[in-house]
Amino acid sequence: MRKPQIAILGATGVVGREITKITEELGIEYKSIKFLSSAKSAGSKITFKGSEYTVEEATPDSFNGIDIVMASAGGSTSQKFAPEIVKRGGVIIDNSSAFRMEKDVPLVIAYVNDEDLKKHKGIIANPNCSTSQLMLVLKPLHEKAKINRLIVSTYQAVSGAGLAAINELRENTIATLEDKPFENKCFKKPISFNVIPQIDVFCENGYTKEEMKVVNETKKILHLAEETPISCTAARVPVFNGHSEAVDIEFDKEISPDEVRNILKDSFGIEVIDNPENYEYPTTRDASGNNPVYVGRIRKNLALKNGISLWCVADNLRIGAALNTVRICKKVIEMGLFGGKNE
């Protein structure tokens, strides 16, 4: 198996640093690796596998000879460099929303829809963070009983909005406790001791872009019919890291809570914590810094036919971004889908 030459684009950001860490954790084999960023961060140092690397400014020529790029540098940066990467024969695994709904771009969660990787033409999209943890839960259930309807409410940590948002929660909390004025910059409302029912801008249908990402990406990844009814409400909560989701699913046939537990216990990347009588259920503190999607509160839904309700939490920086990116990279290497071999 040929070892690829790898680049991490956006290496100094919150997600980029996680990608670097997980690349080492998963033992990704490579011929060479480089770390790229904007001009502002170029020159900074990154320690990887005990060696120190200098971060380089990303330019088109940075991708000469590069086989796989793991990118988390924002949509505009990805749109700028993706054509340059593809033109040079490379594959970009992109964390931004820039290409997710493009018809010819596979939207992939490793171990959920790996076969879609074979369709790539140089660009592979990583789903939204909320979608990622949800799909690992839904896919094995959908294989047992087809999903007819889905309602999701997400409670999303500030780390999903970047380092500035993490700092804003910390500073806003201190200001609130000390009864001092504070100017919000990252959020439209104060984030400390508050829940904000808006993530991203509103669309004409009254949903936010974040909510519609969950709707549309779920259909694309699970290959659901376009008319499958899916609804999502996304809220930002004063938690530093870890997204939580309340999920209500209607299936095409009856499936019991015990069946759901057993299916999920045997599924990749899932850990079931579901003994509410002893106060055992997953929280974001369980998830932060860890790889599994944790699932609990599994019960029969009283409002939906053949319905199940559950609660799931995950580290959004890992499951929702960095971990899936590196897992996709590993799959691309194992399947030999770089160096033009998929074309």
Which residues are identified as catalytic? 129, 243
* Strand-strand pairing, 147-156 and 123-125: unpaired
The answer to whether 88 and 63 are in contact (CB under 8 A) is yes
* Strand-strand pairing, 68-71 and 51-54: unpaired
Cα dihedral 6, 243, 112, 34 in deg (nearest 10): 0
Helix (H, G, I), strand (E, B) or coil at 317: coil
Helix (H) or strand (E) holding 268: none
**Taking Cα atoms as reference points, which of 200, 179, 178, 182 lies closest to residue 191?**
182
4, 75, 158, 181 from 237: Cα distances, Å: 40, 24, 7, 20
Helix (H, G, I), strand (E, B) or coil at 236: strand
**CA-based Rg of the chain, rounded to a whole angstrom?**
20
Helix (H, G, I), strand (E, B) or coil at 47: strand
Type of residue numbered 340: G
C-alpha torsion sign, points 233, 238, 242, 244: negative
d(CA 182, CA 165): 14
Q: Which residue has the tokens 């690349």?
A: 23
The structure tokens listed for 93 are: 């695994």
d(CA 294, CA 307): 20
